[in-house]
A and B are shown apart, each in its own frame.
Chain A
Amino acid sequence: MSSERIAAIVGVAESDLGETPGKTVLQLQAQAAKAALEDAGFEKGDVDALFTAGNWAWSPNLMLAEYLGIQPKFTDGTNIGGSSFEAHLGHAVAGIRAGLFDVALITYGSTQRTDRLRQRLSPYVTLSEQYERSFGLPTPVGAYALAAMRHMHQYGTTSEQLAEIAVATRKWATMNEKAMMREPIEIADVLSSRWIAEPLHLLDCCLVTDGGGAVVVASKAAAARAKKAPVWVLGHGETHTHNTISNMPDLTVTGARESGKRAFEMAGVTHSEIDVAEIYDSFTITVLLTLEALGFCKPGEGGAFVSGQRTAPGGDFPMNTNGGGLSYCHPGMYGIFLLIEATRQLRGECGPRQVEHARLALVNGTGGVLSSTSTAILGRD
């Protein structure tokens, strides 16, 4: 590890998860923010930078800051989909490095399950999405199906190999009492679940839940006042490659190739040093493509890499240890939960699902239709 200690995650929390009827996105974020600040041993008055992303207001930052009674001196509403929060983390470190603020609060909240918003289609499609939406491709799953089909064609990847990811992730979920789906499944269950968009089955797809989360990031000086040991942000990288799936340059290669490379370089660590990986799993194919793009295996070898339950508890590549978006929760933009779990693993707070001696974690968010990626490498002292 050659990276400087600039900033650390010092507080994390979820709000209520799963199905939260009667709760608003503001309530969920307030609940998570308060709990994350308590986890840090900080107070609201310590927060001087605010980061959030969502599409529940024309300006989520304005609405959330007003609701929480925060007047930030730095504000960032970067919205690149589910990877926004890893980007927020990187931006927070940059701001802290520049000396602009000391304590950042990152939040997310969604009531998409209760609202049943996902099935609404607008009858008018504007700007550069008008060349896709009239064909009826379900978004985002249809785009990920196109990528999976291409990967299978190009490399011979199989549905069984994708199913390995869903099965391993469910095993982790059985050890997380907050996970929505905790019944063990087998590869045959994934393959016999109904088609959503070929080659993706229902159990290749993430859950649709409500929920929120919050992460507190502090400068080295502020982190010294925190209640718990700091989880240092050692490296970060972000990029986006396209908005619509027709414009993804290569459906088998995500931007994680670039964002991951930069994160590894900044952190000064190698792949073999990573103890635990939290990889955005909107769909099983998302994970497989990300592992290849990050360089944990070569292009086309993702299927072999995840075979034999390698990412399951007891496997040699512990991944998505909270049960992931596939089995724990997935309130639309899942990225914040990757940071929460990585932090808990590095603190040794994960009880039965704790990865022993975890010192270094890699987090990779993916947003849109494989559109954006943001990678962070975290480590404890």
Chain B
Amino acid sequence: MKVDPTFPRPVFDGDSTPFWEGLKQHELLIQQCKDCEQYIFYPRSICPHCFSESVSFVPAQGSGVIYSYTVVHRAFGPFAKETPFVIGLIDLREGVRMMARIQGPREAVAIGKAVRVAYHDVDDELTLPAFELV
């Protein structure tokens, strides 16, 4: 696959590498704090709820609901030619929120609708999470 060289790529780092490596294997990993048991996204070295450093990656169930969404009509760089497209904020069942594209017919997209994770393989190095209506 040939990807636009201007595509904004995440730089895998000490927090994010397990998340991105998991996505390559089509697995959605979030974190959980061993002390307060709350789930955490995005990944970090310290729990933002209780400041514990005992945080570890766990597989997410992969289902959630649409908290909000927008249909993008004007985009920049490599995204300009993809409009219109739908981006949502998804509340996962574990109680964390993440941004992703929502796949499927845009007329069917609505706040509160159930979605489940899908995987968009950008190329061999990068897989992005996406969500599809269930």
Chain A residues near B (Cβ < 8 Å): 119-128, 130-138, 141-142, 145-147, 149-150, 153, 194-199, 244-247, 251
Among the listed B69, B82, B89, B126, which residue makes an inter-chain contact with A136, where contact means beta carbons less than 8 Å apart?
B82
Task: Determine whether the beta carbon of B85 is less than 8 Å from that of A123.
Answer: no
Bound-complex Cα distance A196 to B87 (A): 13
Chain A residue numbers with a CB within 8 Å of B74 are 138, 141, 194-197
Q: Is the interface of A mostly helix, strand, loop or mixed?
A: mixed
Instruction: Tell yes or no: B71 within 8 A of A by CB.
Output: yes
| Known contacts A131-B99, A135-B101; A125/B8 CB under 8 A | yes
Chain B residue numbers with a CB within 8 Å of A244 are 99
In chain A, what residue has the closest Cβ to B112? A153
Among the listed stretches B10-18, B31-39, B53-61, which one makes contact with chain A, having 4 or more residues with CB under 8 Å of it?
B10-18
Chain A residue numbers with a CB within 8 Å of B19 are 131
In chain B, what residue has the closest Cβ to A141? B74
Report the contact-size class of chain B (Cβ under 8 Å from the partner). 35 or more
**Distance from B52 Cβ to chain A, minimum over Cβ atoms (Å):** 19
| Known contacts A127-B13, A196-B74, A245-B99; A134/B68 CB under 8 A | no
Q: Is the interface of B mostly helix, strand, loop or mixed?
A: mixed
* Chain A to chain B contacts (Cβ below 8 Å), 30 pairs: A124-B8, A124-B9, A126-B11, A128-B15, A130-B11, A131-B19, A131-B98, A132-B99, A134-B7, A134-B9, A134-B122, A134-B126, A135-B100, A135-B101, A136-B75, A136-B82, A136-B85, A136-B87, A138-B74, A138-B75, A142-B72, A147-B68, A150-B68, A150-B111, A153-B68, A196-B73, A197-B72, A197-B74, A245-B89, A247-B97
Chain A residue numbers with a CB within 8 Å of B13 are 126-127, 130
**Distance from B132 Cβ to chain A, minimum over Cβ atoms (Å):** 15
Chain A residue numbers with a CB within 8 Å of B75 are 136, 138
Bound-complex Cα distance A8 to B101 (A): 48
Instruction: Tell yes or no: B119 within 8 A of A by CB.
Output: no
Bound-complex Cα distance A37 to B25 (A): 62
Bound-complex Cα distance A196 to B126 (A): 28
Task: Determine whether the beta carbon of B7 is less than 8 Å from that of A198.
Answer: no
Q: Which of B10, B76, B82 has the most CB of A within 10 A?
A: B10
Chain A residue numbers with a CB within 8 Å of B63 are none
Chain A residue numbers with a CB within 8 Å of B79 are 136, 138
Bound-complex Cα distance A106 to B100 (A): 39
Chain B residue numbers with a CB within 8 Å of A120 are 76-77
**Distance from A201 Cβ to chain B, minimum over Cβ atoms (Å):** 10
Q: Which of A124, A128, A131 has the most CB of B within 10 A?
A: A131
Bound-complex Cα distance A196 to B75 (A): 8
Task: Determine whether the beta carbon of A197 is less than 8 Å from that of B70.
Answer: yes
Interface residues of B in 73-98 (CB under 8 A from A): 73-79, 82, 84-85, 87, 89, 97-98
Among the listed B77, B84, B87, B89, which residue makes an inter-chain contact with A121, where contact means beta carbons less than 8 Å apart?
B77
Task: Determine whether the beta carbon of A122 is less than 8 Å from that of B70.
Answer: no
**Distance from B125 Cβ to chain A, minimum over Cβ atoms (Å):** 12
**Distance from B55 Cβ to chain A, minimum over Cβ atoms (Å):** 15
Task: Determine whether the beta carbon of A122 is less than 8 Å from that of B8.
Answer: yes
Bound-complex Cα distance A264 to B89 (A): 33
Task: Determine whether the beta carbon of B6 is less than 8 Å from that of A137.
Answer: no
In chain B, what residue has the closest Cβ to A132? B99
Task: Determine whether the beta carbon of B72 is less than 8 Å from that of A136.
Answer: yes
Bound-complex Cα distance A164 to B94 (A): 39
Chain A residue numbers with a CB within 8 Å of B126 are 134
Chain A residue numbers with a CB within 8 Å of B7 are 123, 134
Chain A residue numbers with a CB within 8 Å of B82 are 136
Q: Which of A135, A141, A194, A195 has the most CB of B within 10 A?
A: A135
